[in-house]
C-alpha cells in the first residue's frame, strides 16, 4: 500500500488540538504522513512531540506557501484535515477557507462533527467524514476509517468531490446571492 499523506494548512497550536492530531497519527494503524503548511510559536514543541512518538519521519512542518499554491499542495495530499474544536460560537458556525480549498483540490476531508457548517458541507455532499475530534484516539479512528481500502470511504469521497466541486466555485456559489440583489434592485 502506498504511503498516504494528510495535510493541514494554517496556524498551529495546542489550542487547535494539533497535539492530539499528532498523537492520533501515532496511534493510527494506517501510518500516514502528515504535512503541516504552518506557522506558530509552538512548532518546535510540536516537532518534539512528534519525535517523542517516533514520528519524526512522518510529521513534516513546512512554511506556508503563497495563496496561489495552496490548492496544488492540497491536491498532492490524500486527505485534508481540520482539527478545529467547538470552543466558541464563531468556530462552531465557521466555514473555514481550507474546507473550500480542499473542495477545489478535490481532496477528501476529515472534520469535526461539532462544527455545524463543516459537518453539513462534508456529510451532505459525501466529501469525507466528520467525527468528534477531541482525543488522540478520535483522530486515529477517523484517519483509519478514511484510509481503510475495504471501507472504500476515500474513493467515494473523491468520486463525490469530482462530481460536485464545481458547485462550490465562486462563479456558481455566488449566483443565488447575485440573484437576490438583482431581485431587490427590481423591487425598488
Q: What are the backbone angles phi and psi of residue 128, rounded to the nearest 5°?
A: 160, -135
Of 72-76, 140-144, 179-183, least confident by mean pLDDT is: 179-183
The answer to whether residue 79 scores a pLDDT higher than 90 is: yes
Confidence of residue 136 (pLDDT cuts 50, 70, 90): very high
Confidence of residue 122 (pLDDT cuts 50, 70, 90): very high
SS3 label, residue 113: coil
Is pTM beyond 0.85? Reply is yes
Determine the pLDDT at residue 5.
98
Centroid of chain to Cα 81: 3
Determine the pLDDT at residue 179.
83
Confidence of residue 186 (pLDDT cuts 50, 70, 90): confident
For the chain, give the mean pLDDT. Answer: 94
Return all residues near 64 (Cβ < 8 A) that are at least 6 apart. 9, 37, 38, 39
Is-contact 25 139, C-beta < 8 A?
yes
**Which of 12, 11, 29 shows the shortest CA–CA distance to 20?**
12
pLDDT tens digit string along 18-37?
999 999 999 999 999 999 99
Query: What CA–CA distance (Å, rounded) separates 159 from 164?
Result: 9
Determine the pLDDT at residue 89.
94
Q: What would the mean pLDDT of 106-128 be, rounded to a whole number?
A: 98
Is-contact 100 78, C-beta < 8 A?
no
Determine the pLDDT at residue 1.
55
Q: How many domains does one find in the chain? A: 1
Helix 18-27 × helix 43-52 angle, to 10°: 20
pLDDT tens digit string along 38-53?
999 999 999 999 999 9
**C-alpha neighbours within 13 Å on the C-beta side of residue 157:** 27
**Which of 69, 74, 82, 68 shows the shortest CA–CA distance to 114?**
82
* Domain carrying residue 13: 5-187
Q: What would the mean pLDDT of 98-110 be, rounded to a whole number?
A: 97
Q: What are the backbone angles phi and psi of residue 79, rounded to the nearest 5°?
A: -145, 135
Q: What would the mean pLDDT of 115-129 be, rounded to a whole number?
A: 97
Q: What would the mean pLDDT of 108-136 be, rounded to a whole number?
A: 97
Determine the pLDDT at residue 34.
98
CATH number of the domain that residue 132 is part of: 3.40.50.2000
- What are the contacts of 92-99 at 24+ separation with CB within 8 A? 92/116, 93/117, 94/118, 95/121, 98/8, 98/9, 98/10, 98/74
**Percent of the chain beyond pLDDT 90?**
85
Is-contact 74 107, C-beta < 8 A?
yes
The alpha carbons of the chain give a radius of gyration, in whole angstroms, of: 17
Amino acid at each position: 500500500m502506498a504511503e498516504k499523506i494528510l495535510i493541514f494548512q494554517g496556524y498551529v497550536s495546542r489550542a487547535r488540538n494539533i497535539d492530539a492530531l499528532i498523537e492520533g497519527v501515532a496511534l493510527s494503524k494506517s501510518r500516514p504522513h502528515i504535512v503541516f503548511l504552518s506557522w506558530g510559536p509552538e512548532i518546535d514543541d510540536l516537532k518534539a512531540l512528534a519525535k517523542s512518538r517516533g514520528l519524526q519521519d512522518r510529521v513534516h512542518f513546512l512554511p506556508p506557501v503563497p495563496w496561489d499554491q495552496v490548492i496544488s499542495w492540497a491536491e498532492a495530499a490524500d486527505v485534508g484535515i481540520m482539527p478545529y474544536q467547538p470552543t466558541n460560537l464563531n468556530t462552531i458556525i465557521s466555514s473555514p477557507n481550507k474546507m473550500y480549498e480542499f473542495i477545489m483540490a478535490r481532496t477528501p476531508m476529515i472534520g469535526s462533527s461539532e462544527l455545524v457548517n463543516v459537518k453539513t458541507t462534508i456529510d451532505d455532499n459525501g466529501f469525507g467524514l466528520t467525527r468528534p475530534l477531541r482525543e488522540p484516539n478520535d483522530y486515529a479512528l477517523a484517519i483509519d476509517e478514511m484510509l481503510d481500502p475495504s471501507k472504500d470511504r476515500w474513493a467515494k469521497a473523491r468520486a463525490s468531490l469530482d462530481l460536485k466541486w464545481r458547485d462550490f466555485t465562486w462563479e456558481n456559489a455566488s449566483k443565488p446571492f447575485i440573484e437576490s440583489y438583482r431581485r431587490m434592485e427590481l423591487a425598488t
